[in-house]
Structure 1
Amino acid sequence: MLPGEDRAARRVLTVCLAAGVTTLLDQSVLNIAVPSLRQSLSAGATDVQWIVAGYSLAFGLMLVPGGSLGDVRGCKVLFLVGLSTFVACGLVAATAGHAGTVVAARLVQGAGAGLVNSQVIGTLQDVFRGLDRARALGLYAVTGGVAGALGPGLGGALVALFGDGLGWRLCLLLSAPCGALTLGLAWRWLPPGRRVATHTRLDVWGLACVAALTLCLMLPFVRTPGSGRAAGLWVAAALGAAGALVLGQRWRARTGRVPLVHPALVRSPSYTLGTLVAMAQFGSSLSAGLVVTLFLQSGLGLSALTAAAVTLPAAVAMSVSSALAWRVVRRFGEHTVTIGVGFGILSLLAGALAATSLPVAALPFALAAVQLGSGAASGLAVSPNQARALQNAPAEAAGVAGGILQMAQRVAAAVCLSAVAGLYLRDSAGTAEVPRAAFIQASLVCAGLLTVALVLCLARPRATARSRPIRPPSSGGRAGSLDRSSSGPS
């Protein structure tokens, strides 16, 4: 690069990193303020579930269409539209007087965040090439992860300084100055962006089926549990949505159209199993973090700042273990992910055991140690699993692989957050005692999700060995209209 071009590229990277920090900090900073929000707005369990899960759902579902639209319209315009929507909805949520308003604002805000992040990936792929592109995408992922890890501490400080009534509003309002600054920088520094397609090849049917399937899995937990007949209807609806998705994908492939899930990805055991591992791990991690926050504040009566201090070791441990993960990979290879997932299971079980036997005064210290172990486990598992899954993605589907992986993670997070949070809130409601049983049950469910991931990790080497070798994706150029969401923070 020429010096001027290098300076311009650094400015573009700065804007992209700022966008990642703004949109990914927003979700984690709110979790610590959920008890205050619930008390201030008299929000019910259903409202809480939609507030925490709706953002992830809308975020995930917007990633793929956002990338496709960016190919048609160019990145810069959609980046500005998405970030403006994100900031505006943050203001609406922060000033809301009713829980339903917060739910609606968070849904639209999540869609704006998904639109922004899909344009970030497209912009980085336009500006950088080869090793520079890999470094830029890696820095973007690390920055987003650090922002998410710092969110609970920042949220706890805001609630502690400004009280329960104003603190949660400031947590939601935090995105406004960050977003406004990023908007100004983006207007000046982002390039117009190339239009690499004349029309969108978006699989609307596939996305609609994924949304319907996700809602059918979420709603039984969001709503008050009903009769066996109602549960059977939801199961039947979920199976119907899954069947419609499979038939729609096959029809598009036979007619020469681009399906939502590229057929080559389904035929790749390493990618498929890696995606399933990521879904289970991501859903378990976010759900366990939310439940710990609720248990510490609503269950043990700790302040938001103290609860943030208990969860801080997870952020520190994840940062350190993520930096050291590749050294472990060089020694243990793909077993690094298995080690991380196994360690995560042990950490969750240790938390459940501590809640069973320890006195209330000792629980915060024990849970801080558990958070340390959980953070270290996540750092060992997340990046190596994602890298291996994408490395083994078929070359002809390299552009869509990361987008589908990230969308799958967000969809899984929406379902798991609804289910686990609903389980905890239902079992802890109406009890004057410390809700140990609710916390233990929720922790065991999260450990069960990681157990599924562990089984998949153990099955992956054998499944990969049976499949034919797959050429790694090329680093140059984009491979299809969905390439805009091919990487990035989870």
Structure 2
Amino acid sequence: MLPGEDRAARRVLLVCLAAGATTLLDQAVLNIAVPSMRQSLAAGAADVQWIVAGYSMAFGLALVPGGSLGDLYGRKRFFLIGVAAFLLAGVAAATGGGPGTVIVARLVQGAAAGLVNSQVIGTLQDVFHGHDRGRALGLYAVTAGVATALGPPLGGALVAGLGPELGWRCCLLLSAPCAILTLALAARWLPPPRRTARDPGLDVLGLALACGCTLTLMVPFIRTPGSGGVALLWAALMGALAVTLTMHQRLRVRRGRRPLLHPALRSSKPYLLGTAVAMAQFGASLASGLVLTVFLQEGLGLSALSTAAVSLPSALAMGVVSALAWRMVRRIGPHTVTLGLALGIGAALAGAAAALTVPSAVLPLVCAAVQLLAGAAAGLTVSPNQTQVLHHAPAEAAGVAGGILQMAQRIAAAVCLSAVSAVYLHSAPMPPGGSGPRFAYALASCVGAGLLSMALVLSLLRGATTGRPAMPADKPGQQSPAPQRHRTT
């Protein structure tokens, strides 16, 4: 390989990691500033709910359209558009004078983040192959862990140092310098736009129906309907949209036109099972983190900064282990995911046992140790499983495959957050335990999601013994496929 080609690939990877850090840091840093933001804007509970959850909802809705657009018309232009829109919307949110302005700006910013991240996954698919792809995705997971780790401490420090009025606004502006740098590097270093999909026809109706299905599924978890009749109406609307989408996709296939979901994705058992594993793991991880934050602050009376310190080992461990997980993949292959899921189940069980037995004075330290184990488990699971899933996606659907994976994870997160938080909030504590038993019940429900993931992985491994390997791996004496390189612009 030429030195210039290696340098070009490293620059592309750097741009992708910068984009991931920018969008993930923005989401992580705001959560701890929500109370001061609510006080400053005189925002109601529903306003705060839309400000926080609207970002994730719009992020998920933009992933599949963004992946399709990148596949059809090239990724670079939509990457640049997404980063620029993210930057402008962030400034609008930080300077907003009322809840309505901030809500709209955060929705636009979330959609822009989804557009950017769908191009990131597709670009990594285009440029890297084999174990190089696994390493690149591992570094992407490291970036997620670092951004998640830095968010709460930075947000808490800004609010504490600048006061409630200016602090939350600076939290929203924190990602602006990162976005400007990412935009400049992307314009210079990303590969020139090129199509990877053969069919130039974009399924606009299919995209609209898919967005409608996602919206009707996620909105009830963002804001619980006020009556059973409203809930039934949402369910009926979602069912009608899902049936219409299915019929529309079949009709497009009969007519020989490109459907929204590539046929190879629907027929690939490893892709489907791996996506289901990612959904269960991602949802359980976010839900357990949420109830831990509530338990530490409301149950044990810790401050926001102390709560961030307890959660910090998880993010750090995930980042470090993700960077090293590819070595484990080389040794034991897809069993790396099995090991990670087993450690995650063990961490949830340990946390539940600690909540029931450990005195409150030392419980935060025990929770920090448990978070260290949980972060290592996520590091062994997320990147290897993501590599496995995207390994079975065809090149012409790489962006859509990555978008569907991330969208599925965010839908699962909405369901798990709602269900697990309901377990914590509505479980009756056993005497004399206070909120400790409720926290243990919530973690026990996360164990259920972990066991489901384990069953799916075992099913995938059994299928791999008679078919295509479940995860790319080098055979002895065989080199990984050479990464596809592009000249810089």
TM-score, length-normalised on structure 2? 0.82
Q: Distance in 2 between matches of 1:333 and 1:91?
A: 45
Of stretches 241-250 and 121-130 in structure 1, the one that deviates more from structure 2 is: 121-130
Counterpart in the other structure of 2:53: 53
- Cα distance change of structure 1 residues 11 and 51 upon mapping to structure 2, 3 Å threshold: same
Counterpart in the other structure of 2:285: 285
Counterpart in the other structure of 2:254: 254
Deviations 1:229-256, CA, capped at 9 Å, x for gaps? 4433333333333323322222222222
* 1:314 matched to 2:314: yes
Q: CA RMSD in A?
A: 3.7
Alignment of 1:36-115 (within 5 A): 36-41=36-41, 43-70=43-70, 74-115=74-115
CA contact (8 A) 1:69 1:200 kept: no
| Corresponding residue SS for 1:301 | coil
Deviations 1:264-289, CA, capped at 9 Å, x for gaps? 22222221111001011112212322
Counterpart in the other structure of 1:118: 118
Of stretches 391-400 and 230-239 in structure 1, the one that deviates more from structure 2 is: 391-400
CA contact (8 A) 1:275 1:405 kept: yes
- Cα distance change of structure 1 residues 332 and 123 upon mapping to structure 2, 3 Å threshold: closer
* 1:147 matched to 2:121: no
Alignment of 1:277-426 (within 5 A): 277-393=277-393, 400-417=400-417, 420=420
- Cα distance change of structure 1 residues 363 and 180 upon mapping to structure 2, 3 Å threshold: same
User: 5+ unaligned residues in a row in structure 1: which ranges?
Assistant: 479-490
- Cα distance change of structure 1 residues 168 and 345 upon mapping to structure 2, 3 Å threshold: farther
Deviation (angstroms), 1:312: 0.9
Of stretches 62-71 and 306-315 in structure 1, the one that deviates more from structure 2 is: 62-71
Of stretches 458-467 and 212-221 in structure 1, the one that deviates more from structure 2 is: 458-467
Identical counterparts, % of pairs: 65
Alignment of 1:12-23 (within 5 A): 12-23=12-23
CA contact (8 A) 1:125 1:477 kept: no
Deviation (angstroms), 1:314: 0.2
CA contact (8 A) 1:318 1:375 kept: yes
Deviation (angstroms), 1:48: 4.2
| Corresponding residue SS for 2:362 | helix
CA contact (8 A) 1:159 1:304 kept: no
* 1:244 matched to 2:244: yes
CA contact (8 A) 1:56 1:414 kept: no
Q: What amino acid is aligned across from residue 250 of structure 1 in structure 2?
A: R
Of stretches 72-81 and 23-32 in structure 1, the one that deviates more from structure 2 is: 72-81
Q: Distance in 2 between matches of 1:64 and 1:221?
A: 21
Q: Distance in 2 between matches of 1:94 and 1:224?
A: 27
Deviation (angstroms), 1:39: 4.8
TM-score, length-normalised on structure 1? 0.82
Q: What amino acid is aligned across from residue 462 of structure 2 in structure 1?
A: R
Deviation (angstroms), 1:90: 1.3
Counterpart in the other structure of 2:454: 454
Q: Distance in 1 between matches of 2:284 and 2:132?
A: 33
Counterpart in the other structure of 1:213: 213
Q: Distance in 1 between matches of 2:336 and 2:131?
A: 24
CA contact (8 A) 1:51 1:106 kept: yes
Of stretches 46-55 and 127-136 in structure 1, the one that deviates more from structure 2 is: 127-136
Counterpart in the other structure of 2:476: none
Deviation (angstroms), 1:311: 0.6
Deviations 1:2-36, CA, capped at 9 Å, x for gaps? 66666555544443332222112212222333344
CA contact (8 A) 2:71 2:196 kept: yes
Q: What amino acid is aligned across from residue 281 of structure 2 in structure 1?
A: Q
Counterpart in the other structure of 1:443: 443
Counterpart in the other structure of 1:30: 30
Deviation (angstroms), 1:102: 3.0
* 1:268 matched to 2:268: yes
Q: Distance in 2 between matches of 1:471 and 1:7?
A: 27
Q: What amino acid is aligned across from residue 207 of structure 1 in structure 2?
A: L
Deviation (angstroms), 1:111: 0.9
Counterpart in the other structure of 1:485: none
Deviations 1:426-478, CA, capped at 9 Å, x for gaps? 889xxxx9755664454344333333222322332334457677997987779
Counterpart in the other structure of 1:171: 171
Counterpart in the other structure of 1:162: 162
